[in-house]
Amino acid sequence: MKVHKLEELWLIIGVVIIGLAIAITGYQAFAKEMAPPSHIETIDPTKVSETPPFNKPGLKKIGDNEYEAVMTLEAFKFEPQKLEVPKGAKVTFKLTSKDVVHGINIPNTNVNTMVVPGHIQTITQTFKKSDRFIMICNEYCGTGHDTMSMQIVVKE
Ligand code: CUA
């Protein structure tokens, strides 16, 4: 069998590209630890209200201007409804859902993730300027979806 020279060349280029893609992804996943989390935290979605820390949603200081915001989501509200943090605060949101899949998004930040019942989701954001933010649900969760939001106030 005779393979055309150019066809052979492009076959080699194709294989090299695939090899490079595997190498780069592997390097990022293992050497740079950018792989998706494998130690996923789970929770019984029917017992959220009794399971610490979700039995007491709210803000907890965990370091120098560092906070943990424990939040629960359910159709169609966030708990708590409002959070106040000082300027520059690094806030790690710890979230779970009591019922269906919700999503969170804080416009003008990188906070954007799904919150799936049975799982604990964490996401961190540093609020550099004093401002008012709104956290909205961005995953359709029912008739009240468009009203599902809460407020974050970053004080001077
Ligand atoms: Cu919760 Cu949409």
pLDDT tens figures, 43-98 = 999 999 999 999 999 999 999 999 999 999 999 999 999 999 999 999 999 999 99
pLDDT value at position 139? 96
Tell me if the domain spanning 45-155 has CATH number 2.60.120.460.
Answer: no
Torsion angle (degrees, nearest 10) of CA 7, 8, 11, 16: -140
pLDDT tens-digit readout, 117-142: 999 999 999 999 999 999 999 999 99
Average pLDDT (104-129) is 94
Protein residues with CB under 6 Å of any ligand 1 atom: 76, 102, 137, 139-141, 145, 148
pLDDT at residue 38 in the model? 66
Tens-digit pLDDT profile for residues 23-38: 999 999 888 878 776 6
Interval between CA 115 and ligand 1 midpoint (Å): 9
* Atom in ligand 1 nearest the alpha carbon of residue 141: 2
Determine phi and psi for 65, rounding to 5 degrees. 55, 35
Structure tokens at 119: 């799982």
Q: End-to-end distance of the chain based on CA atoms, in angstroms?
A: 75
Could you tell me the residue ranges of all domains in the chain? 1-35, 45-155
DSSP assignment letter at 42: B
Band of residue 5 on the pLDDT scale cut at 50, 70, 90: very high
pTM over 0.80: no
d(CA 85, CA 67): 8
User: Band of the pLDDT at 40, cuts 50, 70, 90?
Assistant: confident
Q: How far lies 41's CA from each of 21, 81, 94, 139, in Å?
A: 30, 24, 11, 21
Residues 6+ apart with CB under 8 A from 42: 118, 119, 120
Ligand 1: centre distance to CA 132 (Å): 21
State in Å: Cα 145 to ligand 1 middle.
4
